[in-house]
Structure 1
Amino acid sequence: MTATKRKLPNIFSSAARPSISQRLMLIGLVMSLFFLLIALFGSVFQGWGWLQNPSESLSNPIHEPPSISHFFGTSQQGYDVFSRTLFGTQAALQVVILATVLSVVIGVPLGLVSGYIGGRLDRILLFLMDTIYTLPGLLLSVTLAFVVGRGILNAAIAISIAYIPQYYRVVRNHTVSVKTELFIEAAQSMGASTWRILSRYLFLNVIASVPVLFTLNAADAILTLGGLGFLGLGLPEQVPEWGHDLRQALEALPTGIWWTALFPGLAMTLMVVGLSLVGEGLNDFINPRLRKENSNFVP
């Protein structure tokens, strides 16, 4: 009888070192943390005199290329592009956090109640959320921005409406599958209230996918805010915002003034990439099957 050959464990396998998705997630975390620190400490640097006031235009120079005095140059309106780019991080994070938190606070409870209670309420909410979900997110945000007007809170409200159905659908579908489990039936038979079942038993079992949606929606919200700013519907003009600055830079591009568009666009791109990498890494961590499949591609 032939002896079975045992395969010795490889210390250099995916179990001993991070997988590709884990490495990418780490890169995304570093990038996201970098922008968070800029948003938190940008005002401190301005107080120390290291940054120009991003809301005050300089009488001179205008259209100056990047130099020692102005790292990213100056715009056609006389703004310091470096200060506008850095402080644009604050506006982006404020709107993104508000928009995603609003969508979570509204979408998750609606999904829990709809999936658990069912019946007519479930059919009405499902029809409403499916209707909103079919609309293009940017178009819906633009339409709402016309109604609510400019401002950080208004922009967050206009953006958040498009994300509510995503949280609702994920939580509702998980709730429908979990509510038939034995521990839910046991809680019902012991007389547990609907609120207790929703908050203590169902919530923790259906909330696993929300962090993934949160980070991916945050990345998408940055692009949506940039689109609103580019169309003149985001924040007031004096507030540093990447989309608005890109709109102003578009007029100067034909004359060879490239720096006013490059740096805000690059900041927006890097922040979106960082949050997207975090979201994809969380998705791979939460889903064991994806993590197993990805480990096969580790060099």
Structure 2
Amino acid sequence: MVDRLEWEHRPVMVREVIRWLEPRPGGLYVDATVGGGGHARALLEAAGGQARLIGLDRDPEALEVAARNLEAWSDRVALLHADFSELGAKLREIHAGAVDGVIFDLGVSTHQLEDPRRGFTYQVPDAPLDMRMDPRLAVTAADLLQRLDVRELADLFRRYGEERWASRIARFVVEQRARRAIRTAGELVECIKAAVPASARRKGGHPARRVFQALRIAVNAELEQLERALPQALEALKPGGRVVVISFHSLEDRLVKQAWVRAAREGQPVRVRILTSRPERPGPQEVAQNPRARSARLRAAERVLASEGNA
């Protein structure tokens, strides 16, 4: 049971999600990152409680909370412990058929960030460097820091964190672990601070932010999972069905944009119409109420018949 921390789930860009998915009574929708159930609840309410919803999440704690938050619609909701890269297989497994809409809300929930047991945050010094969204995964962030050589670490920090000081940080990590394994967030933060020049630490946010992002992405294979999931979501749609993706950094957003363009131009895996020529961003009021929404970017696409173009 989730009893050590209150699961705070404040879904991002709810009005925009509802506007693009247009949930209706009798429709079937997939929340591929159901989390605490915030977007799922909004979809069901917008459809007058008469839609059906399938929720996926790799985090079993999230599914516990979603089940409680969606209890009023328990006869219309199926919650599955699965990564979104399993979307197609799970829909076939439960004989769901084609769906009217899919929502992906990528990134880390507030609960995951603030729960020190999970190790996602650089703000809690004694937090273990875990970062697994799914506890079934074998490799933690601490394992990667211990196993990878200096070149592999530098590539990871550069590719997934777009970290300017990737090579220097990697070298400091390897030197530090030769003395003692890096096992906590505080130990890694101190290592990063030692590696990054003081002038660079004074600008651009917390100096550990990009390295922690890179490790989280690598531990959970987030970009690879997303690359596999997007075509499956498009294939699962009925003609006229829509998919909405909310991403939180440029690496994710780039993958979504490329998937939409490929489907619009080449019809691969199916033909779509791109509904958002540029990613939508949250309004200033939402950002003021929920600062973590600041980096959110929303893209939407609609499946069309093979003969239709991208209007």
TM-score by structure 2 length?
Answer: 0.28
More strand by share: 2
More helix by share: 1
Larger radius of gyration: 1
TM-score by structure 1 length?
Answer: 0.28
